[in-house]
Amino acid sequence: MLDSTLLDLPWATLVTLASGYISYFIANVGLKEHHKPIDILFSTLIFSLLPTVIYHVTLWCGVNAYAAALPTVLLAFTLGALWRKRLCAFLRQHNISWSDSTHSAWQQMFGLTDYRATELLVVLKDGSGLLSRLPGRFEELPNGPFTLGNNGDVILYVTHRSPANSDEWVEYGDVIHQDYGALATYIPADQITRIGIRRREAKPSCSSTD
């Protein structure tokens, strides 16, 4: 619950904290579950340094305090996105660090935005398999194209099924029913033994079915 005393802070302080947290959130979205409160606090303060400078420069130019918050917030978004997109690549390229701060290999799968999934395969404990082929065509549907939960559970639109101990795939014809709509399938983590994701590099001309 939001502490009401925060609202009593000076506007400049609120802008500093908000811009820092915006940058922190974007830079670490999906990766921050293992962060401690002290990590969040100091990361927020570090991310707020440059936006705060821009805020005060904008004030110095004669812009009022509320309008000056707009370029500050926009810069915070940009810094967070650049940090998330470019920092790890820069560190690897210069052999500074090969770590990307993910808490697990499963969590690392969520950050590869330069690739598009063409198949998602889920193998269940009974040996049967569920396959979503070209999940990009379900992107505009609820939970589409698929959802990989942080605890290992999955939501997908099943296009093919494979019986236990079989290599044959049977196409499921009613994924999107004309009258009843789209069928999403939820699979608890404790029912899954293996997950496979086939991906290819994204291209600007790729359609939504890629």
For the chain, where are the E strands, in sequence order? 115-124, 129-133, 146-148, 154-156, 160-162, 170-171, 176-177, 181-182, 185-187, 192-201
For 28-156, where are the E strands, in sequence order? 115-124, 129-133, 146-148, 154-156
CB atoms within 10 A of CB 44: 19
pLDDT value, residue 184 = 94
* Cβ–Cβ under 8 Å, residues 68 and 59: yes
Partners of 115 in beta bridges = 201
pLDDT-wise least confident of 5-19, 63-77, 97-111, 146-160: 97-111
Q: What is the rounded average pLDDT of the residues 17-27?
A: 89
pTM score: 0.60
Whether pLDDT at 205 is above 60: no
Kindly indicate whether the domain formed by 115-199 is annotated with CATH number 2.60.40: no
Whether pLDDT at 207 is above 50: no
pLDDT value, residue 26 = 86
Sign of the CA dihedral with 74 first, then 79, 51, and 59 last: negative
pLDDT value, residue 190 = 94
Q: Where in the chain are the domains?
A: 4-93, 115-199
